[in-house]
Structure 1
Amino acid sequence: MIRAELDAAGIDDARLRAAYRQCRQIAAEHGRTYFLATRLLAPDQRPAVHALYGFARHADDILDEFNPALDTRARAQRLQELSDRFFAGGDRDEPVLAAVDDTVRRYRIPTDLFEDFLASMRMDLSVTDYPDRAALNRYMRGSAEVIGLQMLPILGTVGTVDEAAPYAAALGRAFQLTNFLRDVDEDLSRDRIYLPADELAAHGVDRDLMTWCHIHRRTDARVRDALAAQHEITRDIYRFAADGIGLLAPRSRPCVATALTLYSEILDRIEDCDFAVFAQRATVGTTRRIQVAGGALLRAWWARMGRSERRRAGAA
Structure 2
Amino acid sequence: MDMDKEQRQADFDHCERIIKKHSKIFYYAFSQLPSEKAKAVYAIYAFCRTADECADGSQSSKKKVQLLRQLKKELDLFNEHEELDKPLWRALRHVFNTYDMDIGPFYDQLTGQSMDLTFTPPKTMEELERYSYYVAGSVGLMLVPVIASGSSAELHSSVISLGVAMQITNILRDIGEDYREKNRIYLPEDGLTHVHYSHHDLHNGTINENFIELWEKLAARAESLYSKFLFNIELLDPDSRIPVYLSAHVYRGILDAVRNNGYQCLTKRNYVTKAKMAQINAAANNAFGLREGDAFTVEK
User: What residue is the counterpart of 1:124 in the other structure?
Assistant: 116
Give the letter aligned to residue 65 of structure 2: A
The alignment partner of 2:36 has SS state of coil
Give the share of equivalent positions with the same residue, in percent: 26
Q: Is 1:73 the counterpart of 2:62 in the alignment?
A: yes
Deviations 1:177-200 (A, max 9, x none): 111000111110211111211122
User: What residue is the counterpart of 1:312 in the other structure?
Assistant: none
Of the candidates 169, 188, 195, which is equivalent to residue 179 of structure 2?
188
Q: Is 1:265 the counterpart of 2:257 in the alignment?
A: no
Contact persistence 1:252–1:300 (CA under 8 A): no
User: What residue is the counterpart of 1:313 in the other structure?
Assistant: none
Superposed displacement of residue 294, structure 1:
5.6
Instruction: Tell me the distance in 2 between the aligned counterparts of 1:95 and 1:269.
Output: 36
User: What residue is the counterpart of 2:77 in the other structure?
Assistant: 88
Deviations 1:199-224 (A, max 9, x none): 221101233322222xxxx4133212
Superposed displacement of residue 291, structure 1:
4.2
Instruction: Tell me the distance in 2 between the aligned counterparts of 1:99 and 1:160.
Output: 23
Deviations 1:254-312 (A, max 9, x none): 1111111111111111112221111322211123224433664695977xx9xxxxxxx
User: What residue is the counterpart of 1:60 in the other structure?
Assistant: 52
Instruction: Tell me the distance in 1 between the aligned counterparts of 2:31 and 2:90.
Output: 22
User: What residue is the counterpart of 1:276 in the other structure?
Assistant: 264
Contact persistence 1:153–1:161 (CA under 8 A): no
Q: Is 1:161 the counterpart of 2:152 in the alignment?
A: yes
User: What residue is the counterpart of 2:193 in the other structure?
Assistant: 201
The alignment partner of 1:88 has SS state of helix
Contact persistence 2:177–2:267 (CA under 8 A): no
Instruction: Tell me the distance in 1 between the aligned counterparts of 2:68 and 2:94.
Output: 20
Instruction: Tell me the distance in 1 between the aligned counterparts of 2:97 and 2:141.
Output: 15
Contact persistence 2:77–2:84 (CA under 8 A): no
**TM-score, structure 2 normalization:** 0.88
Provide structure 2 residue ranges, at least 5 long, that are not aligned to the other structure: 295-300
The alignment partner of 1:44 has SS state of helix
Contact persistence 1:251–1:300 (CA under 8 A): no
Q: Is 1:108 the counterpart of 2:130 in the alignment?
A: no
Instruction: Tell me the distance in 2 between the aligned counterparts of 1:194 and 1:30.
Output: 22
The alignment partner of 2:264 has SS state of coil
Contact persistence 1:168–1:244 (CA under 8 A): no
For these two proteins, the number of residue pairs brought into alignment is: 287
Deviations 1:236-271 (A, max 9, x none): 111111112011111111111111111111111111
User: What residue is the counterpart of 2:240 in the other structure?
Assistant: 252
User: What residue is the counterpart of 1:288 in the other structure?
Assistant: 276
User: What residue is the counterpart of 2:17 in the other structure?
Assistant: 25
The alignment partner of 1:232 has SS state of helix
Cα–Cα, structure 1 residues 92 and 291, in superposed 2: closer, same or farther, change >3 Å?
Answer: farther
Contact persistence 2:57–2:64 (CA under 8 A): no
Contact persistence 1:40–1:300 (CA under 8 A): no
Give the letter aligned to residue 108 of structure 1: D
**1:162-177 paired onto structure 2 within 5 Å:** 162-177=153-168
Instruction: Tell me the distance in 2 between the aligned counterparts of 1:104 and 1:185.
Output: 38
The alignment partner of 2:117 has SS state of coil
Of the candidates 128, 140, 146, which is equivalent to residue 136 of structure 1?
128
Deviations 1:22-72 (A, max 9, x none): 000111111101001012211221100000111111111222222xxx321
Superposed displacement of residue 161, structure 1:
3.4
